[in-house]
Structure 1
Amino acid sequence: MSTDTADGPAYSNEAYAAVRKAAGSRRSLYVPSVLDHAAELLTALWATGEKHGVTPAEWGWVTDLPGGALDVVSRQYESASKPERTVAQIVSLQGHLVSALKELGLTARLGGPGVIVDRGPETPRGGRDGDADVEVRIYSDGGWAFSFAVNGASVMSIVAPASQAGASQVAEIVRAFVRGELGNVFRR
């Protein structure tokens, strides 16, 4: 069964489910467009295998193809081998993120090298006293990440495009974290 839209990727429901499952065992969070991209790649890989008499289930005997598809697609969004973003590009992406967070009802502002998001009552405890706000960054030579806004805090990667649309998707993940919907992702 295939999902095919005029403005979206084409992938099977099985491939999407397999990619989502693989994402659950990784130490990053993934925006929907990245999961779609990986599911599209996995669907194509499975189709090629079937042309050679290899069913999707048979791949599991030798490799984690869904995880591999997710990892290779993720590299396109996180890779430090891409040209560095300029300060102006980073500031623009931060501005898009602040706007998207505010549209979602969160309080956000530029703060140092990142965007500071006020914690909510359901935000997991973080920082020395458990009351740290959340900081989101986009790196000049890499991807998106967030942490509690304290020195030495663990950092969680958010795999997303470095674009206005990507900033909106990052905002959705941050909203879910601040509202306690994701639990403490730093402890998984």
Structure 2
Amino acid sequence: MTDTSATTDGPAYTTEAYAAVEKAAGSRRALYVPSVLEHAAALLTDLWATGERHGATASDWGWVADLPGSSLDVVSRQYDRTPDPERTPDQARALQRDLLDALTSDEIGLTAALGPRAQVIVERGPDTPRGGFHGDANVTVGIYTNGGWDIAFDQHGASVLSIVAPASQAGASQVAEIVRAFVRGELGDIFRH
């Protein structure tokens, strides 16, 4: 293993582990914020290091297991499963407001408004992929008392996709970055995975 990168808030991970986790994320039916990818890369780095102490190199694991994908899946459960104890409605609404503030900040620059429950409705842009019955639906992003973040078109029956991110103000900011990339057309049609 080579170059170890350290985040200011989290553990260290190798660039190889981050690249492997990022590649694994591309085959999953969810979107992941950078801090979650870093968390999974740190776990993978530790797993590879443990294997090396037992004579198993990182490439040896590929023959028997998908450690990058497994690391991502295990870490993701901490962010998108039912919290224990459940988040209160007031906590969910506070996260909704954090998301709205991040989306409408000068940095992100989207037009958005509070929606029902703990959702934020984001105005689509000229490059947003087509969505909804007529292809012109806005985007809705939510956080829930019994789960994590998600994104969908604001249309009854629309496909919903998880955004794996911390349920925090920092997580809301990272979710806003993903939403901006989607609205600007940089991610393509994330619902046709």
TM-score (structure 1 length as normaliser): 0.98
**Map of 2:37 onto structure 1:** 35
**Map of 1:12 onto structure 2:** 14
What is the CA–CA distance in structure 1 between the aligned matches of 2:68 and 2:53, rounded to whole Å? 18
Structure 2: gaps of 5 or more residues: none
Q: Give, as a single letter, the amino acid of the residue that structure 1 aligns with 2:143.
A: I
What is the CA–CA distance in structure 2 between the aligned matches of 1:7 and 1:27, rounded to whole Å? 27
What is the CA–CA distance in structure 2 between the aligned matches of 1:154 and 1:126, rounded to whole Å? 10
Counterparts of 1:149-168 in structure 2, within 5 Å, are 149-168=154-173
The structural deviation recorded for 1:160 is 0.1
Contact map agreement 1:83 1:141 (CA 8 A) in 2: no
Deviations 1:8-58 (A, max 9, x none): 430001000000000000000000000000000000000000000000000
Q: Percent identity?
A: 68
What is the CA–CA distance in structure 2 between the aligned matches of 1:173 and 1:6, rounded to whole Å? 21
Q: 1:53 aligns with which of 55, 59, 68?
A: 55
**Map of 1:139 onto structure 2:** 144
Q: Give, as a single letter, the amino acid of the residue that structure 2 aligns with 1:110.
A: L
Q: 1:181 aligns with which of 170, 182, 186?
A: 186
Q: Give, as a single letter, the amino acid of the residue that structure 2 aligns with 1:59.
A: W
Counterparts of 1:77-92 in structure 2, within 5 Å, are 77-80=79-82, 82-92=84-94
1:52–1:168: structure 2 CA closer, same or farther, 3 Å change rule? same
1:40–1:128: structure 2 CA closer, same or farther, 3 Å change rule? same
The structural deviation recorded for 1:177 is 0.3
TM-score (structure 2 length as normaliser): 0.95
Equivalenced residue count is: 188
What is the CA–CA distance in structure 1 between the aligned matches of 2:5 and 2:191, rounded to whole Å? 33
Structure 1: gaps of 5 or more residues: none
1:128 counterpart = 2:130: no
Q: Give, as a single letter, the amino acid of the residue that structure 1 aligns with 2:124.
A: R
**Structure 1 counterpart SS, 2:49:** helix
The structural deviation recorded for 1:147 is 0.1
Q: Give, as a single letter, the amino acid of the residue that structure 2 aligns with 1:161.
A: P
1:17–1:145: structure 2 CA closer, same or farther, 3 Å change rule? same
The structural deviation recorded for 1:6 is 4.7
1:123–1:5: structure 2 CA closer, same or farther, 3 Å change rule? closer
The structural deviation recorded for 1:130 is 0.4
**Structure 2 counterpart SS, 1:62:** coil
**Map of 1:99 onto structure 2:** 101
